[in-house]
Amino acid sequence: MAHVAEWKHGEISELTSLITHHKIIGIIDIGSIPAPQLQQMRGGIRAKAQIRAAKNSLIVRALDEAEKQVKGISALKSEVHGQAAVIATDVNPFALFKEIKATRQKAPAKGGETAAHDIEVLAGDTPFKPGPIVGELQKVGIPAAISEGKVVIKNDKVLVEAGQKISRELAQMLSRIDIYPIELGLNLHAVFENGSIYRPDVLDIDMDRFMGQLRTASLTALGLAMETGWANTQTIRPLLTKAYRSAYTLALEKNIYTKETMKSLLAKAQASMLSVSSQVKPVSKEGEKTPT
């Protein structure tokens, strides 16, 4: 049997403990993130989650060990690829994904990277004074020209389409015009919670829009329940209020005297009396109507 270094046993034990002591476990890729930015990202998420990097083989071993205590956790082994790390937290997977997305930041291209999305320049002024810079911009495909003593970009143009490589020359020029096309950030492969695996295509939702849709659905359901008179813990109070108002209105219309309607009915009677009184002409002492 091959000898396994003692430090590896310790690493596996610590990873296993981390995995088994949190409700939510994810596998992330931290490759291609420079050390300073990675430390900054870890600091930004530290209050809600712990990140532990290790060799992929050790993470896989730790998941096998954790399976003895957390059934189904070993399903994450297929997500351990690239420069993987374990992220552990107790917040729900959707909140975790939102936190991970918040760590992303723009960075300049160095050349040779694959564009994740179309890289486009927009028409407008540049910070450059007229000179050789115009030819340099044009050389990398940027439609530059001189207008009113300024170097301008004449029209919008897609320089690199998504999936294409960014040349070194273009990368240098993009940095000079403050376009940073590379997005650095933790890349979530999958998350485990209570026997289920969630991937980014499920977790990547607009929470504000989603909560708005839930509120709309809730109000619509409440309105339907009120309309049909369906009594439950959410509708019983407004249904009783509605029933009371309907009964009160009916009692007023039918002149039904109760403790609740008496005051309103007397006010109604007085108003009627004053209305009739205003239509009657005064009568003299002899019983004749006073001339108008």
Q: What is the CATH number of the domain that holds 156?
A: 3.90.105.20
194 and 221, same domain (yes or no): no
Residues 247 and 140 in one domain: no
pLDDT tops 90 at residue 206: no
User: Does any domain span residue 113?
Assistant: no
Report d(CA 154, CA 143) in Å as an integer. Answer: 6
The pLDDT assigned to 115 comes to 87
pTM: 0.61
Write the CA distances from 10 to 5, 42, 199, 209, integer angstroms. 9, 23, 30, 45
Average pLDDT over residues 245-255: 87
Instruction: Report the amino acid identity of residue 161.
Output: E
Same domain for 189 and 60: yes
Same structural domain, 93 and 17: yes
**Pairing outcome for strands 157-160 and 119-121:** antiparallel
pLDDT, tens digit (0-9, with 9 covering 90-100), for 2-61: 455 677 888 999 999 999 999 999 999 998 788 888 888 888 888 889 999 999 999 999
Residue 8, Cβ density class (10 Å: 0-12 exposed, 13-18 middle, ≥19 buried): middle
Domain's final residue, options 205, 238, 254: 205
Q: Could you tell me if residue 287 is inside a domain?
A: no
Decide: helix, strand or coil at residue 236: helix
CA distances to 166, 231, 259 from 255, rounded to whole Å, are: 84, 30, 12
Start-to-end CA distance of the chain, whole Å, equals 126
Running DSSP on this structure, what letter comes out for residue 113?
P
Domain extent, residue 53, equals: 6-104+185-205
**Residues in contact with 117: Cβ distance below 8 Å, sequence separation at least 6, in sequence order:** 162, 181
Q: Is the dihedral of CA 277, 283, 287, 292 positive or negative?
A: negative
Do residues 174 and 189 share a domain? no
How confident is the prediction for the chain on average, in pLDDT? 87
- Are 56 and 200 members of one domain? yes
State whether 197 and 78 are in the same domain: yes
Q: Are residues 258 and 219 in the same domain?
A: yes
Question: What is the per-residue pLDDT across 79-94, written as a single tens digit (0 to 9) for each?
Answer: 999 999 999 999 999 9
The first and second tokens of residue 288, run together, are 């004749």
Residue 241 and residue 199 share a domain: no
Whether 136 and 196 share a structural domain:
no
Per-residue model confidence as pLDDT tens digits over 218-243? 989 988 988 888 888 888 998 899 88
pLDDT given for residue 1 in this prediction: 43
In this structure, is residue 114 part of a structural domain? no
Burial readout 197-211 (b: 16 or more C-beta within 10 A, e: otherwise): bbeeeebeeeeeeee
Do residues 107 and 180 make contact, with C-beta atoms less than 8 angstroms apart? yes
Residue 194 is part of a domain; what is its CATH number? 3.30.70.1730
Rg, C-alpha atoms of the chain: 37
| 73 in any annotated domain | yes
Q: What is the mean pLDDT of residues 131-157?
A: 91
Residues 30 and 170 in one domain: no
Question: What is the total count of domains within the chain?
Answer: 3
Give CA–CA dist 76/25, Å, rounded: 9
pLDDT digits (tens, 9 = 90+) for 55-82: 999 999 999 999 999 999 999 999 999 9
Residues 210 and 157: their CA atoms lie apart, in Å, by 34
Domain co-membership, 72 together with 173: no
pLDDT exceeds 70 at position 147? yes
Please tell me which of 1-5, 138-142, 285-289 the model is most confident about, judged by mean pLDDT: 138-142
Look at residue 289 and tell me if it is in a domain.
no
